[in-house]
């Protein structure tokens, strides 16, 4: 912040842009682990990574050699209990998908330990059946939000974006085996050593 005369937000954005100058170092460090799987956790503030030019560039650069990549987008359970929260998260997930269009994307419902079984089922159902989402929207939202949500869910229905949400919880360590299996399914089986 001092060096470039920036405020906290500008400094974070610049720092993420400068990361591009250290790609080789990053690759070398990751290489040293010689790992089968690498999980790169990026900032939840999408304007710091996904929406910058540098985000997709870094993601492509880290997929060196024959390494296969996937983007995992987290739907935070705290934010998607109502149709309008679900739809705004779905919009974010869709724009991340547009940004990283070369890379397959998995959508995950995170922190499901905060929800009960019925809530999990309802939210997963919204992700697979946009008609159900439309019905919940019309029941539970009102005014402009209801109208906008209805229009948006109509667009998602027409787009056929029925990406399955995968429930996971780090706290209870559940769903991770499902995620692992799903990742293997989207990776090319000929190149994966887990087949």
- CB-based contacts of 59, cutoff 8 Å, min separation 6: 40, 69, 71, 100, 103
Tell whether residue 111 is a contact of ligand GTP (CB under 6 A). Answer: yes
Shorter beta-carbon distance to Mg ion: residue 10 or 44 = 44
Cβ 91 to ligand GTP shortest distance, Å: 17
Question: Angle at CA 64, nearest 5°, toward 61 and 69?
Answer: 85
Beta bridge partners of 165: 107
Question: Quick one: which of 10, 18, 28, 44 contacts ligand GTP (CB under 6 A)?
Answer: 44
Cβ 8 to Mg ion shortest distance, Å: 18
Query: Within 26-45, which residues bind Mg ion (CB under 5 A)?
Result: 44
β-sheet with 71-76: strand ranges across = 71-76, 105-110, 165-167
Using CB atoms, what's the residue nearest to ligand GTP? 44
Shorter beta-carbon distance to Mg ion: residue 20 or 74 = 74
Query: Within 60-99, which residues bind ligand GTP (CB under 6 A)?
Result: 76
Tokens coding 81:
């209990």
Shorter beta-carbon distance to Mg ion: residue 42 or 138 = 42
- What phi and psi, each to the nearest 5 degrees, are found at residue 87? -65, -40
DSSP 163: P
Distance between CA atoms of residues 192 and 119, nearest Å? 35
Tell whether residue 18 is a contact of ligand GTP (CB under 6 A). Answer: no
Q: Which does 15 bind (CB under 5 to 8 A by kind): Mg ion, ligand GTP, none?
A: none
Cβ 41 to ligand GTP shortest distance, Å: 7
Q: Taking CB under 6 A as the rule, which mask of x and - marks residues 132-171 in contact with ligand GTP?
A: -------------------------------------xxx
Tell whether residue 52 is a contact of ligand GTP (CB under 6 A). Answer: no
Shorter beta-carbon distance to ligand GTP: residue 133 or 165 = 165
Distance between CA atoms of residues 158 and 195, nearest Å? 35
Long-range pairs for 124-127: beta carbons < 8 A, 24 or more residues apart = 124/164, 124/165, 124/167, 126/83, 126/86, 127/90, 127/162, 127/163, 127/164, 127/165
The binding site for Mg ion (CB under 5 A) comprises 44
């Amino acid at each position: 912040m001092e060096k470039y005369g920036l405020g906290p937000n500008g400094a974070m954005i610049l720092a993420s842009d400068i990361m591009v100058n250290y790609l080789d170092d990053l690759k070398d460090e990751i290489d040293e682990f010689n790992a089968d799987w690498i999980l790169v956790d990026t900032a939840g503030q999408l304007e710091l990574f996904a929406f910058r030019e540098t985000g997709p560039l870094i993601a492509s650069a880290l997929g060196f050699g024959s390494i296969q990549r996937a983007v995992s987008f987290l739907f935070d359970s705290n934010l998607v209990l109502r149709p309008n929260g679900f739809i705004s998260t779905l919009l974010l997930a869709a724009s991340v998908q547009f940004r990283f269009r070369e890379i397959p994307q998995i959508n995950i419902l995170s922190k499901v330990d905060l929800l009960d079984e019925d809530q999990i089922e309802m939210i997963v159902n919204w992700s697979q059946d946009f008609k159900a989402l439309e019905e919940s929207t019309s029941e539970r939202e009102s005014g402009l939000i209801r109208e906008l949500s209805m229009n948006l869910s109509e667009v998602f229905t027409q787009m056929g974006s029925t990406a399955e949400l995968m429930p996971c919880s780090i706290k209870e360590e559940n769903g991770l085996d499902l995620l692992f299996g799903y990742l293997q399914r989207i990776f090319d089986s000929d190149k994966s050593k887990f087949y």
